[in-house]
Amino acid sequence: MNKLAIFGGESLISVGWPRWPYAGERERELVDEVLSSDIWGGTGLGPKITELNKKFAEYCDAKYGAAVANGTVSMELCLVAWGIGPGDEVIIPAATFMATAVAVHNVGATVVYVDVDPKTLNIDNAKVADAITNRTKAIIPVHIGGHPCDIDPLIEIAGKHNIKVLEDAAQAHGAIYKGRKVGSLADVASFSFQQSKNLQSGEGGIVVSDNKDLIDLIHYSLGKFGRGIREKYSGHIHYRFGWNACYTEIQAAIALAQLERLEEQTEKRTVNAKKLYSLMENIEGIETFEWQPYCDRHAHHLFLLRFKSENFENVKRAQFLAALNKEGVLASSFYPMALYNQPLYKSETSLSMRKTICPVAEQACREVVFIEQNLLLADSHKIELIAEAVKKIRKNAAQLHTIEIEESEFIGSSVLKKAAKKNS
């Protein structure tokens, strides 16, 4: 039992984890209803989308919702609705998924990268204040991994400068900040329904807000070729430049079924994550991220850990991850680099970007690992096995130096890796 699985020992965990994505009878029933109907997509105003817009907005304690094609275009549409474009600046954290930056670049605005808070890896409010200029038009705080940003001070700073705040809540369905649901905290919020997310329909996204005019503009017009709003919607009259950001009825059926399980799953992840934090507490070289006092519920899309190689017998992060995966724990490294260091900025020189050096983001990109969210849906005894696996590896850490592995092996989600493998 003590021989590491990576060296031919028995894996600590041999039975499978809860499936992700998962579809039950309810998904099939609702998808069947769509397939039996004559609206599968096309209009974006069908009954399932309409129901999802209402129910998901309600889930977020927001008034209105507009489902769109994905959680990137959702942010683009918000920026366009606010009239943000070339010459304007939008502040985002340097440690996030590239989509946050892509949305800003796609509207031609300048991405301004700022550092993150080491306690959460969310945007550092003090750094935001320093980055504001008279061109700043919006801030996009990202609730990374599912831990809510400390957004009230940010909204206060933004208010003073007449700057909009858009929550990138792609990873934070169901998270709660000071008793308020993520999605209801700022001017508008954007969620992703891409398949790895805690609520998913393969692809998809949604914008939620209390601002009816903004949601109408996105739902009827900007996301649908610039058609007119409400009674002016149909036909081939285009009032403004718009996107084809249509979500489909089939996707909405899946999302509606998943939404029925979201609360129960979020609670289960919470209980299991809390258990895992305490089991991981005294493992040398492994640091957990504490819930901050303003966090009433973490969505745990990613269960983040800091891997301190220097306290782990100088084992490399990739060696640790290779051993952990072989013991049966699905885990990956965090984003590989602060976004301003991505190679695209060398080739795509027309993209407008401003940065200050972000040492906290850079360090997080070197050190942080995450355990995938569906593991937190397992029975509690399996959660103990995750900690056991880490302890087993810690005990045998010195042996890991012989493993030859590239850091790149453990970048990105297992979804992408599985798809790539099946196609090769």
Ligand X SMILES: Cc1ncc(COP(=O)(O)O)c(C=O)c1O
Can residue 303 be called a binding residue for ligand X (CB under 6 A)?
A: no
Instruction: At 281, list the tokens.
Output: 């507490």
Residue 339 or residue 400: which is nearer to ligand X going by CB? 339
Q: Give per-residue burial for 351-360: e unless 16+ CB within 10 Å, then b.
A: ebbebeebeb
Can residue 184 be called a binding residue for ligand X (CB under 6 A)?
A: no
Q: What is the 3-state composition of the chain as percent helix, strand, coil, each rounded to the nearest 5? A: 45, 15, 40
Can residue 304 be called a binding residue for ligand X (CB under 6 A)?
A: no
User: What is the C-alpha to C-alpha distance for residues 154 and 158, in angstroms, rounded to an integer?
Assistant: 6
DSSP 142-163: B-GGGPPP-HHHHHHHHHHHT-
Stretch that binds ligand X, among 1-9, 77-85, 91-99, 411-419 (CB under 6 A): 91-99
Q: Binding string, 256-295, against ligand X, x = CB under 6 A?
A: ----------------------------------------
Q: Please name the amino acid found at residue 7.
A: F
Near ligand X by CB under 6 A: residue from 44, 62, 96, 389: 96
Instruction: At 245, list the tokens.
Output: 């950001």
Near ligand X by CB under 6 A: residue from 44, 66, 77, 100: 100
The least distance separating ligand X from the CB of residue 16, rounded to whole angstroms, comes to 24
Near ligand X by CB under 6 A: residue from 64, 97, 113, 177: 97
Residue 99 or residue 215: which is nearer to ligand X going by CB? 99
The least distance separating ligand X from the CB of residue 417, rounded to whole angstroms, comes to 15
Can residue 99 be called a binding residue for ligand X (CB under 6 A)?
A: yes
Q: Total residues at the site for ligand X (CB under 6 A)?
A: 14
The least distance separating ligand X from the CB of residue 44, rounded to whole angstroms, comes to 16
Q: Give how far the C-alpha of residue 131 lies from the chain's centroid of Cα atoms, to the nearest Å.
A: 24
Pinpoint the alpha helices (H) of 162-217.
212-216
For residue 166, what is the enclosing H or E element? strand 164-168
Can residue 201 be called a binding residue for ligand X (CB under 6 A)?
A: no
- 139-158: which residues touch ligand X (CB under 6 A)? 142
Residue 194 or residue 221: which is nearer to ligand X going by CB? 194
Can residue 199 be called a binding residue for ligand X (CB under 6 A)?
A: no
Q: Which residues contact residue 74 at a Cβ distance below 8 angstroms, ignoring those fewer than 6 apart? A: 68, 190, 191, 192, 205, 206, 207, 245
CB 29 within 8 A of CB 253: no
β-strand 136-139 against 89-93: which pairing, if any?
parallel
Residue 121 or residue 283: which is nearer to ligand X going by CB? 121
Can residue 92 be called a binding residue for ligand X (CB under 6 A)?
A: no
Can residue 205 be called a binding residue for ligand X (CB under 6 A)?
A: yes
Residue 101 or residue 393: which is nearer to ligand X going by CB? 101
Helix (DSSP H) and strand (DSSP E) numbers for the chain: 13, 15
Residue 189 or residue 397: which is nearer to ligand X going by CB? 189
What secondary structure letter does DSSP report for 292? P
Near ligand X by CB under 6 A: residue from 71, 148, 174, 328: 71
Residue 195 or residue 356: which is nearer to ligand X going by CB? 195
CA distances from residue 318 to 6, 12, 358, 401 in whole angstroms, order as listed: 13, 19, 23, 11
Stretch that binds ligand X, among 97-105, 120-128, 223-231, 330-338 (CB under 6 A): 97-105
Can residue 251 be called a binding residue for ligand X (CB under 6 A)?
A: no
DSSP 214-281: HHHIIIIIITBTT--SGGG-SSS---S---B----HHHHHHHHHHHHHHHHHHHHHHHHHHHHHHHHT
HSE-up (13 A, CA, CB side) for residue 389: 28
Residue 72 or residue 374: which is nearer to ligand X going by CB? 72
Pinpoint the alpha helices (H) of 82-150.
99-106, 125-131
Q: Binding string, 41-70, against ligand X, x = CB under 6 A?
A: -----------------------------x
Residue 201 or residue 270: which is nearer to ligand X going by CB? 201
The least distance separating ligand X from the CB of residue 170, rounded to whole angstroms, comes to 3
Can residue 171 be called a binding residue for ligand X (CB under 6 A)?
A: yes
CB 275 within 8 A of CB 380: yes
Stretch that binds ligand X, among 30-38, 43-51, 94-102, 331-339 (CB under 6 A): 94-102
Q: Nearest-CA neighbor of 148 among 126, 125, 169? A: 169
Can residue 194 be called a binding residue for ligand X (CB under 6 A)?
A: yes
**Residues within the interface to ligand X (CB under 6 A):** 70-72, 96-97, 99-100, 142, 168, 170-171, 192, 194, 205
